[in-house]
Amino acid sequence: MSLSAQHQTVLLREAVAALAIKPAGTYVDGTFGRGGHSRAILERLGPDGRLLALDRDLEAVLPAREIQDRRLLVMHQRFGELSEALRLAGIDIAEGVDGVLLDIGVSSPQLDQGERGFSFRYDAALDMRMDTTQGETAAQWLQRASVQEITEVIRNYGEERFAVQIAKKVVAVRGERPLATTGELAALVREAVRTREPGKDAATRTFQALRIHINQELEQLTLVLPQAMTVLKPGGRLVVISFHSLEDRIVKRFMRDGAAPEQLLSTKLPLRAVDLPQPELRLVGKPLKANEEEVAANPRARSAVMRVAEKLARKAA
């Protein structure tokens, strides 16, 4: 079975519907993955429509070769470099795009391929890079980072209360031998974490934290959101699916602030409504989660949250 067949795209129908696709529109799928969202978008596009799909993982880009469609361009690029990707694709940023879709986080194939080093369920090289063509591996970072740095990453990104104990144990063990595999790290963490929620492996939070840090996932999300709003046409939609509370918090705040910008001027001053800061976007619907049927078929959909915003046209003074 191919990886594209194994992977189940979360909130597929809901995300594509939220884009409100125009047949001749131009769209960006910032996280191609195994192409589930992209294929559904192409089904709704007309012959003059256009879709740019990005992914930082070369192995995620490979299935794009199965799609023979002149309307689709797939690029090996981080979505935090959205503006540059549009330029390279020959899409006029000033003209804008009609929709941007982001399905944040690690994909099922990345987790299920033991050799990628994302999961403690397999004993493999401790890599964790989404883009294996650049950057340092988790093993390399753990070999050089200080106790304080390791503690902060595991605590901030994994919300792990035993972060200090884990960090100290990592530094103690690496003084004797390098931590080279996922199995070695998982065993170390389990020794340092004596209590854990029922049914949850003690290594879960640490592996999650290291993955987020190594791939700069939150930084990439913070970079792409303002770029998306800049390149969207008035009426264009931004659709974001996140799987972690830290990601969702960034998306929520960005959309909330864009829909209700701070009024920097004193409200006691006699100002006309037109003189007040105008919102850049409006929120579309409420945050959406996967229904019981989808979660039953794909347990990883349980934590998914989808938020949608639409770019507003600037009002004339």
Answer whether residue 316 shows pLDDT above 80. Answer: no
Are 43 and 57 within one domain?
yes
120 is in an annotated binding site: no
Are 234 and 266 within one domain?
yes
257 is in an annotated binding site: no
Q: What is the DSSP letter of 64?
A: G
Last residue of a domain, one of 176, 192, 214: 214
Residue 125 located in a structural domain? no
Most confident of 50-64, 157-171, 262-276: 157-171
Are 249 and 267 within one domain?
yes
Give me the pLDDT at residue 205, please: 93
Last residue of a domain, one of 214, 246, 276: 214
Answer whether residue 261 shows pLDDT above 70. Answer: no
% of the chain exceeding 90 in pLDDT: 72
Give me the pLDDT at residue 3, please: 40
213 is in an annotated binding site: no
With bands split at pLDDT 50, 70 and 90, how would you rate the model's confidence at 91? Answer: very high
Domain that holds residue 163: 132-214
CA 164, distance to chain mean position in Å, is 27
Residue 123 located in a structural domain? no
**This prediction's pTM:** 0.89
Structural domains counted in the chain? 2
Q: At what angle do helices 163-174 and 182-192 cross, to 10 degrees?
A: 130
What CATH number is associated with residue 166? Answer: 1.10.150.170
Give me the pLDDT at residue 81, please: 96
Tens-place pLDDT, residues 207-229: 999 999 999 999 999 999 999 99
Answer whether residue 36 shows pLDDT above 50. Answer: yes
Are 292 and 304 within one domain?
yes
Last residue of a domain, one of 214, 234, 260: 214
Average pLDDT over residues 279-285: 93
CA distance 19 to 228: 13
143 is in an annotated binding site: no
Residue 94 located in a structural domain? yes
What CATH number is associated with residue 298? Answer: 3.40.50.150
CA distance 24 to 39: 16
CA distance 295 to 222: 28
Answer whether residue 7 shows pLDDT above 70. Answer: no
Are 255 and 235 within one domain?
yes
Answer whether residue 263 shows pLDDT above 60. Answer: no
Give me the pLDDT at residue 105, please: 73
30 is in an annotated binding site: no
CA distance 315 to 279: 10
Answer whether residue 90 shows pLDDT above 60. Answer: yes
Average pLDDT over residues 113-136: 83
Residue 124 located in a structural domain? no
Assess contact for 241 and 100: CB atoms under 8 A: no
Residue 120 located in a structural domain? no
CA distance 164 to 205: 13
Q: Classify residue 317 by burial, with Cβ atoms within 10 Å: 0-12, 13-18, 19+.
A: exposed
Are 209 and 224 within one domain?
no
* Range 255-271 burial, b when 16+ CB lie within 10 A, else e: beebbeeeeeeeeeeee
Are 145 and 200 within one domain?
yes
Average pLDDT over residues 114-131: 82
32 is in an annotated binding site: no
Give me the pLDDT at residue 71, please: 96
Are 261 and 168 within one domain?
no
CA distance 280 to 257: 9
> Locate tokens 């099922």: which residue?
108
With bands split at pLDDT 50, 70 and 90, how would you rate the model's confidence at 235? Answer: very high
137: left (phi over 0), alpha (psi -120 to 50) or beta: beta
Give me the pLDDT at residue 1, please: 34
With bands split at pLDDT 50, 70 and 90, how would you rate the model's confidence at 275? Answer: low
Give me the pLDDT at residue 204, please: 92
Q: What is the DSSP letter of 10?
A: T
Are 269 and 201 within one domain?
no
Q: 53-62, 132-141, 282-291: which range is least confident on average? A: 53-62
Answer whether residue 115 shows pLDDT above 70. Answer: no
Give me the pLDDT at residue 110, please: 63
